[in-house]
Structure 1
Amino acid sequence: MDRTIGWIGTGVMGASMCMHLMKAGHEAFVYNRTKSKAEALLNEGAVWCESPAQVARNADVIFTIVGYPSDVEQTILGTDGVLQHADASKIIVDMTTSEPALAERIFQEAARKGVEALDAPVSGGDVGAREAKLAIMVGGERETFDKVKDLLDVMGTNVQYRGKAGSGQHTKMCNQILIAGTMIGVVESLFYAYKSGMDLNEVIDVIGTGAASSVCINVLGRRIANGDFDPGFFIKHFVKDMGIALAEAKRMQFALPGLALAHQFYVSAMALGYEDLGTQGLYKVFEKMNGE
């Protein structure tokens, strides 16, 4: 079935993800708060929309990937948002990393209008988005997932249905908790290598193939070694994600002390003005802590 795609949020990851769907032959209606960030898509034939509402009126499946839960709420549930202007039988797929409770609320409010909704956050960063190798974790009705899985497969290599609404977001929290602790290890490891007078890339050549191997060391570690702190994923968004996970843990009445420590380091990065760097920018915090 030839479905028209709506895409809201054409940032570091969203633009690449939408482009893959367009290359697969889907007409796309796009909106972003900063129109210039959608320029590459418009040059490839995407249709510009002036609001999320206009996207909703024109598209069969509406994807959103924005910054914060407040952005998700405004984009989908606001008066000029997607849900207010989506007809029954349309599907909303929110790919933002957001709050599980908000995903459940969107699902419930959409169902009252006959609209289907999924929460489908992703992992893989800018590289995964560009190469269509994202992990996509999905919550909502299984029947809705089955209807859009072919579209999700265009953007990712590991697309998994995780259960009821909110389950995609809970799975993403597991992902972010793991990355948060791993990134502490990455920056401490590479700072140790630097202080020992070793070449960081050569160290990664060794430790990146053994038990310490991870995307964090092999991708983000390489960026640190090469002095590249541009965002594949913003520090400010990672702080948001960690805050969601800590709040969910508190709600469920258990502690995540390792995540709390990592969160403090990243909040320090924000305080130092590094919020728009990639998550590997945490390395700069350790440099400052050690007088570099």
Structure 2
Amino acid sequence: MSVSRKPKVAFIGTGIMGAPIAGHILDAGYDLTVHNRTKSKADGLVAKGAHWADTPADAAKDADVVFTMLGYPSDVEDVYLTTNGLLRATKKGAYLIDLTTSSSQLAHDIYEAAEIDDKHAFDCPVTGGEDGAIAGTLTLIAGTDEKTAAPVLPILQTFSSKIYYMGGAGKGQTTKLCNQVSLAACMIGYADAIALAEQSDVDVSQMLDVVSHGMGGSVALERLAPKSVAGDYKPGFLSEHLRKDIGLALSQAEDRGITLPGAETAFTLYDMLCQIGGKRMGTQAITLLYQEEATAAAAGLDWSLLDAESIVKGDEDDDGKSNHKDGCECGHDHGNGECCHHHDHKGDVASNN
């Protein structure tokens, strides 16, 4: 990559997280080309000076550095590994950096395929949510070493406050999944606490303040529990994406012969939330599962969907693609809301961007 000029950058996937990340890159003076499945989600970036491309390949063909921020591993596989994918479309020496929370094995496969063709790919999932993306203070978890990432470090620093180098392809993804497993447990913990306080006539806001200053506190409780109490379910991170992440963690755990009881419980509850209409809500909507049916209905949930034939067959995303079985990775239906720890969690998850 030339050091005599700022590299050209392509960004694929300008959704809740991708748009503000790409905005920081653009604000830093980089020549930026963007693509998103829904073009309107990139309009703000184009208005600020980014170039629009009709396909991921078109966006990446002249780029020195390509970022992807997609919804599901199958999106990543399609964008990188198909005939018209990024690995074929990009030029020699290009860097391909996937910010998606995805499969560690897929990240390793992409890395190896890129190296064969004299390109450089590494997984780099992020944590910090929409607020961190907007503020440019995300934590990056890079599946590579510091030396390899050095040529693109100035770009990474435009949207992050901390970068961890995990030392090898796929290790960034595994570390991010560890974060998601811990997060899911924290979400269930504070939802349980709110339910107990409400049913015991304890002031919920006061309880949360007490717990946040004790050993039971967490970043999730501090930042998201007040939103749950206020009935604010706007997504900073989609419930269906946390369901996907937990499914990936369960898949990897099963491959290694271990069980994750906390993650199994969290998957069951988030799968239920997604089935009854909460998949596009923020993860803090988990507390609605503890509420009276009328309260849940007022927020947009429908418990009757658990018995609907369409749920047994699987949810559909915005493009009509089946997401339900893939959201948990096990390939089995969970219309009964039961945990899938007796099933095989292998396989890709469906696309959503």
Would the TM-score normalized by the shorter structure come out above 0.5? yes
Equivalent in 43, 46, 63 of residue 47 of structure 2: 43
| Alpha-carbon shift at residue 291 of structure 1 (Å) | 8.7
Amino acid corresponding to residue 237 of structure 2 in structure 1? F
Question: Is 1:225 the counterpart of 2:263 in the alignment?
Answer: no
| Alpha-carbon shift at residue 189 of structure 1 (Å) | 1.3
| Alpha-carbon shift at residue 290 of structure 1 (Å) | 11
Q: Distance in 1 between matches of 2:295 and 2:205?
A: 23
Counterpart position of 1:234: 238
| Alpha-carbon shift at residue 203 of structure 1 (Å) | 3.2
Q: Distance in 1 between matches of 2:292 and 2:160?
A: 37
Question: Is 1:115 the counterpart of 2:122 in the alignment?
Answer: no
| Alpha-carbon shift at residue 5 of structure 1 (Å) | 1.1
Counterpart position of 1:96: 100
Comparing 236-245 with 141-150, greater Cα deviation is found at 141-150
Q: Distance in 1 between matches of 2:83 and 2:243?
A: 28
Deviations 1:199-220 (A, max 9, x none): 4334333322332332201111
Comparing 110-119 with 133-142, greater Cα deviation is found at 133-142
Question: Is 1:71 the counterpart of 2:75 in the alignment?
Answer: yes
Q: Distance in 2 between matches of 1:86 and 1:151?
A: 18
Q: Which blocks of at least 5 consecutive residues in structure 1 are unaligned?
A: none
Q: CA RMSD in A?
A: 1.7
Equivalent in 3, 9, 16 of residue 12 of structure 1: 16
Counterpart position of 2:220: 216
Q: Distance in 2 between matches of 1:241 and 1:209?
A: 29
Q: Distance in 1 between matches of 2:209 and 2:285?
A: 21
Deviations 1:219-239 (A, max 9, x none): 111211221101111111111
Counterpart position of 1:125: 129
SS in 2 for 1:6: strand
| Alpha-carbon shift at residue 194 of structure 1 (Å) | 2.8
Comparing 131-140 with 203-212, greater Cα deviation is found at 203-212
Question: Is 1:143 the counterpart of 2:151 in the alignment?
Answer: no
Equivalent in 51, 57, 61 of residue 53 of structure 1: 57
Q: Distance in 2 between matches of 1:197 and 1:80?
A: 60
Deviations 1:20-51 (A, max 9, x none): 11111111100000011111111110100000
How many equivalent residue pairs? 292
Question: Is 1:175 the counterpart of 2:179 in the alignment?
Answer: yes
SS in 1 for 2:162: strand
| Alpha-carbon shift at residue 3 of structure 1 (Å) | 1.1
TM-score by length of 2: 0.79
TM-score by length of 1: 0.95
Q: Is the 8 A contact 1:30 1:38 kept in 2?
A: yes
Seen in structure 2, the aligned counterparts of structure 1 residues 99 and 121 have a Cα distance that, compared at 3 Å, is same
Amino acid corresponding to residue 133 of structure 1 in structure 2? T
Counterpart position of 2:285: 281
SS in 2 for 1:128: helix
Seen in structure 2, the aligned counterparts of structure 1 residues 148 and 283 have a Cα distance that, compared at 3 Å, is same
Deviations 1:231-277 (A, max 9, x none): 11111111111111001011011111111111111111112111111
- The aligned runs of 1:161-172 (5 Å cut-off) are 161-172=165-176
- The aligned runs of 1:20-39 (5 Å cut-off) are 20-39=24-43
Q: Is the 8 A contact 1:65 1:95 kept in 2?
A: yes
Amino acid corresponding to residue 186 of structure 1 in structure 2? Y
| Alpha-carbon shift at residue 142 of structure 1 (Å) | 4.2
Counterpart position of 1:154: 158
Q: Is the 8 A contact 2:70 2:76 kept in 1?
A: yes
SS in 2 for 1:72: helix
Seen in structure 2, the aligned counterparts of structure 1 residues 281 and 172 have a Cα distance that, compared at 3 Å, is same
Q: Distance in 2 between matches of 1:213 and 1:157?
A: 23
